[in-house]
Structure 1
């Protein structure tokens, strides 16, 4: 008989704990909806999923497909629950034990002000013998949907975000039945969809996110794993209830094992969960908003107003020089920009794609004959803060002293892990950390640098030596890298830190919580930029999403509006040829910068909704899209058209127009809560700020 153990409500979210013998199940529901919980016709989902190597594999055709519901889980015994409550948060700790001396702790934290919960799972070996884990969940939710009974066919939708280089964050929505996540006639086979990413690009193939929508009751559950190493999520169904779990990629999926000696403890990476009234977009933004708690206390004063940036990469493509920087700075002086960033190549004389001079981080005296401080001073004198690019976790083939320093490099099967022209520093080694502290932190301090773009342009892959398993070695490596990021923040608290990994391959919570902003993608001058930028609203805070707006000589003004409007979907970052632009182009640039300044507070704090066509091809998009971002007092509307564009776009947006940014030839009408823009052609754009009604 299943009984209610406890209920806790805070921040618009209710956690309901149900107990059936020794199994404790967690249900998350929107606050006020707990009275509608009906499902008790499926197996209770344990709070924690784990698998020890010494235990048998689960049955029901599970081998190679899932490690859930093994005898390890059946051995767990409920040992009690406590809760600590304050105005800001509620922390619920649930204890489970195993007769073999394993003590499991599940910690759920609810916060005021945002309907997201954080879950942390840990295991301590209190016995006298070692035990090896080969799977441990960060979180698990079951009995989905709790508001239904029986099969409830065609009522569950699964939302995932696909991601690849320069095409990040594509929403894919499938019926549970299309994924074969419905029970068999006998409820026998363990049907599972296990997905994730293996390596040190956590956002590759998939974003570490999944949502389950109950279309019959208008509720969506969503979860994000947070670590920057191999991860997995798993949708599982054997009977009427669907389960969603996730965390570290297990032994089958990501070669992970962890041995706990007597007295040892292991804590799985944090997961973030929510349940909302609404769809996947609403749920995803709740999860993204959860990172704000960690980010805001670390923001330098310069980040409070979301200043516009200029990054010279799309000017020199990896060959910056003193002459190019000074030429740009002269053109940009007085243009209300916050930063000038020198991107890759300041240490090399080859274009970026051909360069592999990584590791020593010595300035190219051929390119910068007067030293870096000389151009930094020029940037400062022009009223901007100075930024520089690093890829400090790598050693490049063109720096043989670094590339062959095997005792400092990651290995797999005893051989240095090599990907193209890159190898990887073993960030777990104190000597590596101290070397990088000198080469990176001291360099930044000595040259009065205000901003660092940290890139990461390869993946370690399956894992590395130095731990019980390749997967655990990888997890330790990424934790050590993040410790170095944290050291940078401690020693240089006013430094603005940008995260990049060939664009968007590291847009996971644990890295985003260390950075002021992140490169949204390596889509530099492409038509798909606004599509990807809109996708980011489901993944990260727009205040962190740095979007390219490249301005080149001879570029049509319509293209420039298109690019700048893309930047209005996050952090506007110009690049290109500022010294070669026409007066008309500069007029558009100045208007765009001024409009962005007016929109910055909405970009920072708001809720976004996308309208428009379903985009099939990113490389040859057709139709249109609009992102409507509603802030507390104003709403930002950004419209883009693509191929086969409509002449007019109408949106359900009320309120008085306070500002607009659109090319000559477009017209706008605004009647009865309907905003219509006329005169669009292919690859066009416009943006508006409206005063909210009431």
Structure 2
């Protein structure tokens, strides 16, 4: 049998097919395969290209909770493969079989980007149903085989922890620090990371990175799913493996029966590998994200958005309160005005949402009077929605069937006073479409902040083989609904929000042009989130709040603007009530942002001080945009007023450096071309500046 050897976009991929038709993924690397790095035949047969566990079959391994030695995954045989090119790049499909199953492993590559998208397709060719407990979307053994030292010594794992008000907290550790060491040829210990429910990034982001620090490579991945997911790393046959998947039975209450002739397709994942470290990995992942998302003008023009929620109206809008803010937002240079939550209720509304009709009490002259005024002032009007939920006291909730909602054990699922709506139900879809159509056609809405503030848990039992199966079906139905909305309204901007960043995944972000980064209300704490944000979201999709206080200082205004200047501006705050000198700093910042935003849409991130952590006294984030580079610098609770920033890619060059925002000479800097070091002095604690380097 011929092996499959591919070198594409800087990735070497080797698939071995034995005489017995066993299929092994031996190699994925920026370097060619060195056969001396592979062990015996007994070890190589563990390099499975896919793992599948079917109910009623053995798991042929001393595995503990690991997904190794799965059956029929461990005995699948080669049938054929295709290797062709399509509009994205090279596409490899490998077909395997076992009694009653036909399995296709898909690897979609992308021109000039060292990333592939992987998923698994399973068709039941038997005469009886087959129950699936686990299906890998990507499996790779030998992720640390290159180099001479032990995998304990050369491995670093990067994991992104994520919580409300505290998103994007990356940590990197050696595997022994996380509890994984070589106890035998294969241990029972695994490093397992998983999220269950409708918040795909609650607790953890669906991504990670593994560095081989001896060989100088970084393997990175993201799971492109808006629901439950799982990944794990462990050792087997003296090698480390990585497996990525959507929901599983053990971790996520997912089990799927596929009948004769039926097909199941796993959740897609993106996997890449580079010569370099974490920063280079994120750069390539950024390029991949741009290449695979829905094309839209919003990510080219990067308009400035005013939203009246954060540190402003806080979900208490009225005509009287909004109109002065509209005037101030227009004067500051904002291009969209989004009315946030509360516009649909006279008073308390949390557990009554669902009808989405404007409050006549809040808007005596009608909501259209306000949206027309926003348009008159030269801005596009927007509204907040939370269409996937219905409050338990919404009048509609008692008139519709239970099949509108998630159900478990015969009861409607309730979380935080809301029911979760099931987008497999066509009546639910009709209801959601009617709301969108009404807001766009009657009120001229061009921006929707689509929020989502509950976690509906492991799924629903309605028309499902398991709770997790119902959730997966709903997740996919919701994505199909979003696709149809954009087909009807291609210029409509829909922000993806889930209590800030609780649903940051590229199932949704391949469709939505903008993502809420956080609900953090303290601009100083926000800086650490901002500095890490490009790891999870392209800068031009990442909405960051700028919310100056009514009576704050000038440094507070500047800090707020620097927070958002390299991404998407979500301006807020009581702009109609702040002092003229502070308002002038806002106008200056937004004018400057408009002058550079064309560069940001193609920028790649870098971190002169490394990734941020809460409690750091200095933070720094840069964007490389062709020949020009931008650098946001924050001094927090540091008693030292000066910091040295290594800018390695400019070493040896006489770079032109200037403080570009604000335009005043109250900080100092010095460029050392020999060492490639920028030394910056900032005037006080809790201040920030933006620099240009060229």
TM-score w.r.t. the length of structure 1 is 0.93
In 2, Cα distance between equivalents of 1:89 and 1:464: 38
In 2, Cα distance between equivalents of 1:465 and 1:86: 39
- Corresponding residue number in structure 1 for 2:319: 322
CA drift at 1:162: 0.8
Closer/same/farther in 2, CA of residues 15 and 574 from structure 1, 3 Å limit:
same
Residues matched between the structures, number:
677
CA drift at 1:267: 0.3
Closer/same/farther in 2, CA of residues 374 and 432 from structure 1, 3 Å limit:
same
CA drift at 1:48: 0.9
Structure 1 residue 436 and structure 2 residue 432: aligned? yes
Aligned-partner SS, 2:301:
coil
Closer/same/farther in 2, CA of residues 131 and 656 from structure 1, 3 Å limit:
same
- Whether the aligned pair in 1 keeps the contact of 2:388 and 2:420 (CA below 8 Å) is yes
- Whether the aligned pair in 1 keeps the contact of 2:61 and 2:68 (CA below 8 Å) is no
Structure 1 residue 679 and structure 2 residue 676: aligned? no
1:453-475 per-position Cα deviation (integer Å, ceiling 9, x unaligned): 10000011121112001111111
Closer/same/farther in 2, CA of residues 520 and 679 from structure 1, 3 Å limit:
closer
Name whichever of 11-20 and 640-649 sits farther off.
Answer: 11-20
Aligned-partner SS, 2:456:
coil
- Corresponding residue number in structure 2 for 1:666: 667
Name whichever of 268-277 and 395-404 sits farther off.
Answer: 395-404
- Whether the aligned pair in 2 keeps the contact of 1:552 and 1:580 (CA below 8 Å) is no
1:180-216 per-position Cα deviation (integer Å, ceiling 9, x unaligned): 433324x243332221101111101111112111010
- Corresponding residue number in structure 1 for 2:89: 89
Name whichever of 426-435 and 342-351 sits farther off.
Answer: 342-351
- Corresponding residue number in structure 2 for 1:379: 374
In 2, Cα distance between equivalents of 1:402 and 1:37: 63
- Whether the aligned pair in 2 keeps the contact of 1:393 and 1:425 (CA below 8 Å) is yes
- Whether the aligned pair in 1 keeps the contact of 2:294 and 2:510 (CA below 8 Å) is no
Aligned-partner SS, 2:176:
coil
In 2, Cα distance between equivalents of 1:422 and 1:563: 33
In 2, Cα distance between equivalents of 1:47 and 1:613: 34
- Corresponding residue number in structure 1 for 2:363: 368
Equivalent residue in structure 2 for 1:572, among 553, 569, 574: 569
In 2, Cα distance between equivalents of 1:628 and 1:334: 29
- Summarize the alignment of residues 471-490 of structure 1 with structure 2, pairs less than 5 Å apart: 471-490=468-487
CA drift at 1:35: 4.7
In 1, Cα distance between equivalents of 2:97 and 2:602: 43
- Corresponding residue number in structure 1 for 2:259: 261
CA drift at 1:613: 7.4
In 2, Cα distance between equivalents of 1:30 and 1:74: 24
- Corresponding residue number in structure 1 for 2:47: 45
CA drift at 1:505: 0.9
Structure 1 residue 359 and structure 2 residue 362: aligned? no
- Whether the aligned pair in 1 keeps the contact of 2:299 and 2:540 (CA below 8 Å) is no
CA drift at 1:47: 1.1
Aligned-partner SS, 1:428:
coil
In 2, Cα distance between equivalents of 1:519 and 1:689: 26
1:261-315 per-position Cα deviation (integer Å, ceiling 9, x unaligned): 0000000011100001111232234224322223352x13x54221211100021
Aligned-partner SS, 1:208:
strand
In 1, Cα distance between equivalents of 2:36 and 2:379: 59
1:369-403 per-position Cα deviation (integer Å, ceiling 9, x unaligned): 22222111111111111111100000013313326
- Corresponding residue number in structure 1 for 2:344: 347
In 1, Cα distance between equivalents of 2:633 and 2:179: 37
CA drift at 1:329: 1.1
- Whether the aligned pair in 1 keeps the contact of 2:682 and 2:688 (CA below 8 Å) is no
Closer/same/farther in 2, CA of residues 548 and 66 from structure 1, 3 Å limit:
same
Aligned-partner SS, 1:293:
helix
1:625-656 per-position Cα deviation (integer Å, ceiling 9, x unaligned): 11121111210010011112421122234421
Name whichever of 560-569 and 254-263 sits farther off.
Answer: 560-569
Structure 1 residue 515 and structure 2 residue 512: aligned? yes
Structure 1 residue 597 and structure 2 residue 600: aligned? no
CA drift at 1:4: 7.6
1:131-156 per-position Cα deviation (integer Å, ceiling 9, x unaligned): 10010011111112232367444111
TM-score w.r.t. the length of structure 2 is 0.93
Which sections of structure 2, spanning at least 5 residues, go unmatched?
Answer: none
In 1, Cα distance between equivalents of 2:327 and 2:164: 34
In 1, Cα distance between equivalents of 2:288 and 2:152: 33
Aligned-partner SS, 2:422:
coil
- Corresponding residue number in structure 1 for 2:335: 338
In 1, Cα distance between equivalents of 2:334 and 2:34: 53
- Structure 1 runs of 4+ off > 6 angstroms? none
- Summarize the alignment of residues 365-514 of structure 1 with structure 2, pairs less than 5 Å apart: 365-402=360-397, 405=400, 406-466=402-462, 467-514=464-511
- Whether the aligned pair in 1 keeps the contact of 2:294 and 2:511 (CA below 8 Å) is no
- Corresponding residue number in structure 2 for 1:631: 625
CA drift at 1:61: 4.8
Closer/same/farther in 2, CA of residues 612 and 680 from structure 1, 3 Å limit:
farther
- Corresponding residue number in structure 1 for 2:163: 164
Name whichever of 675-684 and 22-31 sits farther off.
Answer: 22-31
- Corresponding residue number in structure 2 for 1:286: 284
In 2, Cα distance between equivalents of 1:87 and 1:320: 47
Aligned-partner SS, 1:154:
helix
CA drift at 1:236: 2.0
In 2, Cα distance between equivalents of 1:242 and 1:612: 30
- Corresponding residue number in structure 2 for 1:173: 172
In 1, Cα distance between equivalents of 2:93 and 2:247: 24
Which sections of structure 1, spanning at least 5 residues, go unmatched?
Answer: none
Closer/same/farther in 2, CA of residues 590 and 93 from structure 1, 3 Å limit:
same
In 2, Cα distance between equivalents of 1:657 and 1:664: 13
- Corresponding residue number in structure 1 for 2:656: 656
- Whether the aligned pair in 2 keeps the contact of 1:80 and 1:96 (CA below 8 Å) is yes
CA drift at 1:689: 1.6
Closer/same/farther in 2, CA of residues 613 and 428 from structure 1, 3 Å limit:
closer
In 1, Cα distance between equivalents of 2:682 and 2:180: 46
